[in-house]
Structure 1
Amino acid sequence: MRRFLTGLIVLAVCVASLAHTPQPVQAWKAPNLNTNAWSANGDVNAIVQDGNLFYIGGSFNFIGPYTGSWVALSTTTGAWDNTFPLVEGTVRAAVPDGAGGWYIGGDFTSVGGVGRTRLARILSNKTVDTNFTASADGIVNVLLFDSATNRLYVGGQFTQINSTSRSRLAAVDGGTGALISGFAPSVMLDIDPASTAVHALALNGGTLYVGGKFDRINMNGRNNIGAVNTSDGTTTTWNPNANSTVFTMALDAPNNRLFIGGDFTLVGSQVRYHLAALPLDSSTPLAWDPEASGSVYAMALSGSTLYVGGAFFDIGTEFRSRIAAIDADTGSVTSWDPNANGIVRVIVPSGSSVYVGGEFNIIGNQVRSNLAMLNNTTGSATSWNPGTGGAVHSIAISGGTAFVGGNYRHAAGVRRTHLAAIDINTGRPTSWNTIVSNGTQTANVQALAIQGSTLYVGGRFNFIGGQPRQNIAALQLSNGAATSWNPGADNNVQAFATNATTVYAGGQFTNIGGQPRNRIAALDITTGNATSWNPNADSGVLTIALTTSNTVYVGGVFSSIGGNIRRFLAEVDLSTGLATAWDPAPDNSVHSIVVSGENVYIGGFFLEVGSVPRRYLAQVRRIDGTLTSWNPDPDNNVYALALNSSTLFVGGDFTQIGSQARSRLAAFDAATGNLRPWTGGVNSTVRAMALRVSQLAVGGQFTLANNAAYTHYAMFTALPIDTIGIFRPDQARFYLRNSNTTGFADIEVALGQSDDYPVAGDWNGDGIATIGFYRRSTGQFFLTNANVQGAPIVYSFFLGNPDDIPFAGDWDGDGRDGVGVFRPSNGLIYLKNTLDTGFADFTLILGIPGDLPVAGDWDGDGRDTPGVYRPSTATYYLVNSICNSCVIIADFSFIFGDPGDYPFAGDWNGDGRSGVGVYRRTNGVTYFRNELSTGIADIDIVYGIGNDLPIAGYWGAPPPPPSAPESSASEPSAPEVAPTFVPRQ
């Protein structure tokens, strides 16, 4: 691309508009949440960016799609079928309805967006049954469906079903959910009514066996186990009398016996440790007596083998950790030994496999997150590995699908303990995986930093990257293994700053790098030893920011540092370790610091800085520590700050900032200090943020992002980057690409006719540009709201005359694009804010015959303004305002491209300001420039072929990848990608 000479100034003479000029309202495109990104099942406290990756740290142990608490998983691949209704809450029980659907019970409030309180029916067509309206006022633990009578038996901790009194046991109609009026047994623990619960049910003929925690059924004394008649709910004479809770049952009707498991040690007068077999016609236990060393929560009978799971470590004299197989006739333990490292709560044999759920992360000699498929001969885990982010309580197998319920919100993801690498393009974890643990206590990663090829990790842990490391470590970015660098800290590490020779660490420690160091230290980047630098903070250090002036800014909860009284914020000399004279003096803790030119942004818990009111967020001059006039005044704490070339992002607990509503996230223009109209938001605390170009990663304690279910981690488009598209007239087909690189089209849509002009804009304010066309023969616009084949025409209206040239822009700053037409014969431009037939809102003269129109937000004020490109001289003429009855001078005039090129415009770098581009129709080469001045292209690519017409816009997040790393689970189906399109090379 050749360098060009400076362009000429052009006058734009405005003529009277046909409509009054509306008052502009500043607005940006709405921030776009990356809906392909996965989220975490625990807090995210730290994020750092490196190349195309975000490294995140926190208290999580699983990352995956938000699935709700009941999922359908392929028994072959583990892929999640996301077409089933999403359940919000906990699912403890699920049984088939006999018609291809399911009854579910637990502690949930919503199923598929429909209000359902702890009971629901999902039909075979994957919709919520609106006719089944049963509800419970307490947790449902167990369900049993009797297809012969169309009854659903319900057990749990409730006192009412359908607002009618039912104590922990009820029966409802399988079709409507209405109570069965003749069945109303009362189950009660009189010595502790609130603890009463039914945990297990078994049906044999007209007898329903009941297990749980109770001391009577109806008015009959029954300790933790009993039976009722299904005809009228009366208590039978069967009374085994267990001395503690019965959690599980397995009926063996052909052999006239019922296996039970739980917390008991006596059944009747017989010693039975947690396992027993009872005859159906007698209350006296059978001689069968395997003896488990701890609670039994799960049972499943398969032939002559009884699988048991729970919290035990031994069965009889054999070591069996939480899961075992027992001979149902002799009580002897088989050699089958999967050896789980956590509680097993459900077991389901199926063919040659045994499905197991619970609260484990190792079973069958493999890492598995709460869910596994085991070989029924060897006990080894198979390759099936969808995993869940929390406890699994129920599993049911139907055909090729495993239906899994529990207390989780994520499934079909990957296990990542407290640390993960997220691919910025996909929003999903890479294969990079390291284990972080803290013995029997909870581990937590609180600080991250990258220097060269090393990731520095701080927090609360004693093992990481395969090595013992106390609260601080260095990991290889290539494989996650710990390096030999091992300073060791005696308490939490919560902050880092690094340069080529030194790692500066802050936190709660008093000893690190082999030396006494109070809460802040400098560590040799090679040896890990503490240097002589010793500022000696008297309380915790929470944030550190290096400067280019041989100093470091430090924030935290201290009142003394560097040998001087410095409350919460200080500048420390890197040579001496002494505090400088700089002393802004906030009145409470500082949690985040960002250096920007001659100023420093600080966020925290303070209400004043230097005795001047400044709530939670302030800008301080570096030269003397005094406040600037900038006063965004959030209404609550600020924990995180992130800055790029144009924007300061702020995260915390606030719901209002800059006198406007913002939910824990806000964006400010770094040049003017004005609040951006960017409105990304979450529903609880933001603790960490990181930026890469247009992607903003956010971590914290939230469960919703932009009102969508994203827990603890979310990715926003910080400022949408526009990308190239072309319209091929001879095919009447659009080819859209999600990056400004040479490559295949991501989206292909046939729309319009060969002589139509293409147009694209954000017509509905959702932040995504969608395509349309202008019929030059009639002067009519046809616009869609989706970039998919077959999308309907949503807007159809007339503006202009035949042979006018269309373009689009947000003329009034309301976040929605309007349209315009340029009249080649006389240089008239007509702009309209609304997408309907009618007079133009603005009419002005800009350009001469033969020019081509463009529009963009040239100055970043949130409003688009027009411009023209003169193909004869390859010159752009752009204006920053729209006027009526006035004369204005072009604000930008410059040469870019070659004569005959075709213009387009967009925000190529995410700075909130539009750049320009030219498309060389002779060969399909496209050139992009960020600055509105003569100069060389910032990007050039090959895309399209001769005579294509260019368009640009933010087409939305890229499609998800084909599969998840290190998991047999597939992600939700991706949008169909366009057929292969090869740009001209």
Structure 2
Amino acid sequence: MSPRRPLAVALPLALALGLAASGAAALRPAERSAPVEPYPDFGDLPAVAVVANGRVDQVVSSGDRVFARGGFTTIGRYTGPGRVLDTATGADRPAPVLPSGQVSVTVPDGQGGWYVGGDFGVDHPTSRGGGLQHVLADGTADPDFHATTDGLVSALALQGDTLYVGGDFGHLGAATRGNLGAVSATDGSTQPFRADQDTRVTELEAGAGRVYVGTDHVEAFDPVTGATVPGFVSPTDDGVSALLLAGGRLYVGGARLVAADPVTGATDPAFDVQADDTGEYRFHTLLSTGGTLYAGGSHATVDGRPGRLVALDPATGAADPAFDPRVSGGTGTWPSANGGVFDLAVHGGQLWVGGAFARAGGEPAGNLAVLDPATGARLDVAVPSLDRQVNAVDVSGDAAYVGGHFYLEDPVTTHGIAALDATTLEPVPGFHVTRLPWWGDLVAAPNALYAGQTHFYGYDRYATAPPYFTASTDRVLAYDPDTGAVDRGRTHRVRNLTGLTTVGNHLVVAQRLEDDVKFPRNRIVVYGPHGKVVRAFPVPLRGYLSYLTSVDGDLLAVGSFKRSTAEGYPRNTAMVRFSFRDGARRAYFDPKIDGPVYDAAVQGRTIFASGLFHRVFQGVDFDRPGLTRMSARSGKSEQFRPASFAANRVLLRLSAVGDKLWVGWFRNEFLDAATGEVVDDPTGGRADDISSVVRVRDGLDFGTVLYGVNIAGSSWNVMGYVGRVAD
């Protein structure tokens, strides 16, 4: 069964839950701490899975494809917010999997590894949040490094055996530290250094016998005690987003870029870097190498050059006209944020560039690129395209650590429907949907996909007088199953649509013909493979439909229908089986259910049904509260006795998956399809996240919804994934 309009009832059908400069962390868009309450993450995905940037409500299997439907715009392989890449090829190297969150800053450890800071769900004795990790050269997390924070880490600086840590936190380890502290680079233990800051620390640099701290200005501190260094005056007061100590100068980036005396803080009037725009545009990263000062940021132009990335004379700030990286497009994590270059790293003849951009070196890029440091031309290093901004890039040994707000690699853009390979679940790159109704069913035929806004209740439960139904005209959209393009020849507008299904290459829709009676007349319209109407006939009984499907070549309508005996007594029914050819009712199908049915799942010649009923009268009283199983001819199943629902009539969502029945109610469960007994969760503890399940050749595919995933320092993200498990 596929999910439809949500039920507005007290009994929930909830989905039970349903993402830095080298040595200097820039103040980048959306860099912040997530709320401290616990949140789910993607730390334990199935081995075969793809992640979407929104809810996945439904999965449908058809031929060599699995189609996912929901509220997403991109879908792809999950990476987490940090990864290690080979500098020669761009291929993945081993790296610790960060379950969610963001990476804001990295620094090399001098031994082929990195220290990594951000907000990626590290536990703290008093809260959940923060992020500080030592990644070793072999790509494993250092088991002896135990530093923790209770908030965002946005700046790091390494000096000898001391790692200086800045950000937005109140504790470093068990010690109280206000946004700034120091830990042992060996084991992460908190050091005596103390220089608490009132605001978030955005930048750190260590050298020349002091520690430089950037917030809304720059201060210098003793590297051992944290005492303020006398005689140093901040060279800026407009907010610090880049900081670099190089060549006997302290370069400070914000809305403008200045060079200062590292002893006194006095600015050098000979260093004049003019950005040609104002406002929220900033310098975010600085890198000095080979007599060149590279400056990355969000400015449109600097010294007359395109300003996302420029190569400057470190003495005067004059831009090198021969360096033409052509970095453009993209935005930060949030729609209002500027795109730009947020971090830089150099390795031999490579300039690694991370940020929020769509092109680099004049070629398409996904927020990460490797350029020629002399010309800015794109180098032949096959780095992945990432779905969101890169905050941190640092090379250590022959590998680069890349971190940011991203979580998907080489994602496919498609609105609401994705086509996945039935074997690997890899998104099909050529499939791209641009239009989709928000609610309803997705049904598949060999020649088309159909999406329509069906109505789960089938009636307006609040109407107490005519009209009893809300009139509407709905569009059943048809999509090419190979490309996702709208097939206008098979797309239809349907008045008062109440159900849709497919039989072979035929589309079948049900529509209500009356709004002023509680049990209206309904009509079935059958469209042929060419998209034209081939026949139409009435549903044999008056009533309201909540779901339309097929069984054994016939149509099966469920809901609530009016009829009477020969003597004129009421003998209503909740399920009607009738001919796909002419609508003739199969009189032998008569489960005599004493209440409405809201969902049905058909597997072969077996029907499962759920709804607000208490008894199923099949010759004798047959107590089946809310959930029942029967044959295609409505023969009763004596063995199917689901004890979970014995006390109540319930509303369930159903999917028949081989020898199991998935039900969605207060919590999701899997039942033995023959007996109704609860069985072990075949998804390895993921049942409560499931919104839809289908049976595939080698197991189960399921779509999920996760509320409150921490992405980019916000735990308000609604995410989902499609996973596969063997059964």
> What is the TM-score when the length of structure 1 is the normalising length?
0.51
Match of 1:545 in 2: 549
| Maintained 8 Å contact 1:615/1:633 | no
Report the CA distance between 1:249 and its aligned residue: 0.6
Report the CA distance between 1:378 and its aligned residue: 5.5
Question: 5 Å matches for 1:595-614?
Answer: 596-597=604-605, 600-603=607-610
| Maintained 8 Å contact 1:609/1:627 | no
| Maintained 8 Å contact 1:584/1:620 | no
Report the CA distance between 1:697 and its aligned residue: 1.3
Match of 1:715 in 2: 724
Select 2:602's aligned residue among 594, 600, 608: 594
Match of 2:459 in 1: none
| Maintained 8 Å contact 1:543/1:593 | no
Report the CA distance between 1:397 and its aligned residue: 1.8
Partner Cα separation in structure 2 for residue 616 and residue 143 of structure 1: 59
Specify whether residues 58 and 143 from structure 1 end up closer, same or farther in structure 2 by C-alpha distance, changes over 3 A only.
same
Report the CA distance between 1:57 and its aligned residue: 3.4
3-state DSSP class of the match of 1:485?
helix
Match of 1:254 in 2: 247
Select 1:435's aligned residue among 420, 432, 451: 432
Unmatched segments (≥5 aa) in structure 2: 1-43, 333-339, 455-473, 513-520, 564-569, 708-718
Select 1:397's aligned residue among 376, 391, 395: 395
Match of 2:114 in 1: 102
Specify whether residues 420 and 197 from structure 1 end up closer, same or farther in structure 2 by C-alpha distance, changes over 3 A only.
same
Structure 2 counterpart of 1:641, one-letter code: S
Report the CA distance between 1:142 and its aligned residue: 1.8
3-state DSSP class of the match of 2:480?
strand
List per-residue Cα deviations over 1:111-142 (Å, max 9, x = no partner).
9xxx9962232333544434332221212112
3-state DSSP class of the match of 2:310?
strand
Report the CA distance between 1:528 and its aligned residue: 7.1
Select 2:479's aligned residue among 474, 481, 485: 474
Select 1:497's aligned residue among 480, 497, 501: 501
Partner Cα separation in structure 2 for residue 421 and residue 308 of structure 1: 38
Partner Cα separation in structure 2 for residue 431 and residue 456 of structure 1: 18
Specify whether residues 128 and 678 from structure 1 end up closer, same or farther in structure 2 by C-alpha distance, changes over 3 A only.
closer
Report the CA distance between 1:680 and its aligned residue: 3.6
Specify whether residues 97 and 539 from structure 1 end up closer, same or farther in structure 2 by C-alpha distance, changes over 3 A only.
farther
Specify whether residues 686 and 553 from structure 1 end up closer, same or farther in structure 2 by C-alpha distance, changes over 3 A only.
farther
| Maintained 8 Å contact 2:525/2:533 | no
Report the CA distance between 1:501 and its aligned residue: 5.5
> What is the TM-score when the length of structure 2 is the normalising length?
0.66
| Maintained 8 Å contact 2:490/2:530 | no
List per-residue Cα deviations over 1:436-491 (Å, max 9, x = no partner).
346xxx9979754332343445689xxxxxxxx988331143x5555453627799
Select 2:256's aligned residue among 258, 275, 300: 275
Q: Count the aligned residue pairs.
A: 599
3-state DSSP class of the match of 2:247?
helix
Match of 1:208 in 2: 211
List per-residue Cα deviations over 1:715-756 (Å, max 9, x = no partner).
2223xxxxxxxxxxxxxxxxxxxxxxxxxxxxxxxxxxxxxx
Specify whether residues 253 and 572 from structure 1 end up closer, same or farther in structure 2 by C-alpha distance, changes over 3 A only.
farther
Report the CA distance between 1:258 and its aligned residue: 1.6
Report the CA distance between 1:46 and its aligned residue: 2.6
Select 2:92's aligned residue among 80, 100, 119: 80
Match of 1:37 in 2: 48
Structure 2 counterpart of 1:434, one-letter code: F
Partner Cα separation in structure 1 for residue 573 and residue 380 of structure 2: 57
- Identity, % of aligned positions: 21
Report the CA distance between 1:520 and its aligned residue: 9.9
Q: Does the alignment pair 1:639 with 2:653?
A: yes
Partner Cα separation in structure 1 for residue 251 and residue 205 of structure 2: 9
Report the CA distance between 1:206 and its aligned residue: 2.9
List per-residue Cα deviations over 1:384-416 (Å, max 9, x = no partner).
2434465533222224322122345555x6535
Specify whether residues 676 and 400 from structure 1 end up closer, same or farther in structure 2 by C-alpha distance, changes over 3 A only.
same
| Maintained 8 Å contact 2:445/2:506 | no
Report the CA distance between 1:156 and its aligned residue: 0.9
Partner Cα separation in structure 1 for residue 431 and residue 371 of structure 2: 25
Report the CA distance between 1:685 and its aligned residue: 2.5
Select 1:152's aligned residue among 163, 166, 191: 163
| Maintained 8 Å contact 1:501/1:525 | yes
3-state DSSP class of the match of 2:700?
strand
| Maintained 8 Å contact 1:204/1:253 | no
Report the CA distance between 1:713 and its aligned residue: 2.1
Question: 5 Å matches for 1:525-674?
Answer: 525-527=529-531, 543-548=547-552, 550-553=554-557, 590=598, 593-594=601-602, 596-597=604-605, 600-603=607-610, 617-619=627-629, 630-634=640-644, 638-644=652-658, 647-652=659-664, 664-670=668-674
Select 1:46's aligned residue among 12, 33, 58: 58
Select 2:296's aligned residue among 308, 311, 323: 308
| Maintained 8 Å contact 1:45/1:447 | no
Match of 1:348 in 2: 344
Report the CA distance between 1:36 and its aligned residue: 4.7
Specify whether residues 682 and 305 from structure 1 end up closer, same or farther in structure 2 by C-alpha distance, changes over 3 A only.
same
| Maintained 8 Å contact 1:34/1:716 | no
Partner Cα separation in structure 2 for residue 449 and residue 49 of structure 1: 9
Specify whether residues 162 and 258 from structure 1 end up closer, same or farther in structure 2 by C-alpha distance, changes over 3 A only.
same
| Maintained 8 Å contact 1:132/1:175 | yes
Specify whether residues 375 and 49 from structure 1 end up closer, same or farther in structure 2 by C-alpha distance, changes over 3 A only.
farther
3-state DSSP class of the match of 1:342?
coil
Report the CA distance between 1:157 and its aligned residue: 0.9
List per-residue Cα deviations over 1:161-190 (Å, max 9, x = no partner).
122111001111212322221x211211xx
Structure 1 counterpart of 2:158, one-letter code: F
Structure 2 counterpart of 1:200, one-letter code: E
Unmatched segments (≥5 aa) in structure 1: 1-32, 189-195, 213-222, 262-273, 461-468, 509-516, 656-663, 704-709, 719-985
Q: Does the alignment pair 1:242 with 2:237?
A: yes
Q: Does the alignment pair 1:131 with 2:144?
A: yes
Partner Cα separation in structure 2 for residue 547 and residue 151 of structure 1: 70
Specify whether residues 260 and 335 from structure 1 end up closer, same or farther in structure 2 by C-alpha distance, changes over 3 A only.
same
Report the CA distance between 1:610 and its aligned residue: 7.7
Specify whether residues 637 and 180 from structure 1 end up closer, same or farther in structure 2 by C-alpha distance, changes over 3 A only.
farther
Partner Cα separation in structure 2 for residue 255 and residue 540 of structure 1: 81
Pick the structure with greater CA Rg. Answer: 1
3-state DSSP class of the match of 1:259?
strand
Report the CA distance between 1:87 and its aligned residue: 3.0
Specify whether residues 117 and 201 from structure 1 end up closer, same or farther in structure 2 by C-alpha distance, changes over 3 A only.
closer
Partner Cα separation in structure 1 for residue 578 and residue 49 of structure 2: 40
Partner Cα separation in structure 2 for residue 110 and residue 121 of structure 1: 13
| Maintained 8 Å contact 1:338/1:380 | no
Question: 5 Å matches for 1:807-826?
Answer: none
Match of 1:415 in 2: 412
Match of 1:914 in 2: none
Structure 1 counterpart of 2:432, one-letter code: I
Q: Does the alignment pair 1:330 with 2:318?
A: yes
3-state DSSP class of the match of 1:301?
strand
Partner Cα separation in structure 2 for residue 346 and residue 566 of structure 1: 67
Structure 2 counterpart of 1:449, one-letter code: V
Structure 2 counterpart of 1:630, one-letter code: F
Select 1:187's aligned residue among 168, 181, 197: 197
Partner Cα separation in structure 1 for residue 164 and residue 504 of structure 2: 67
Match of 1:979 in 2: none
3-state DSSP class of the match of 2:93?
coil
List per-residue Cα deviations over 1:316-367 (Å, max 9, x = no partner).
79897x9443646136997532323232463324355443445666666766
3-state DSSP class of the match of 1:95?
strand
Q: Does the alignment pair 1:450 with 2:444?
A: yes
3-state DSSP class of the match of 1:167?
coil
Partner Cα separation in structure 2 for residue 174 and residue 676 of structure 1: 49
3-state DSSP class of the match of 1:198?
coil
List per-residue Cα deviations over 1:666-720 (Å, max 9, x = no partner).
25244x65666674444333222222334221221269xxxxxx972222223xx
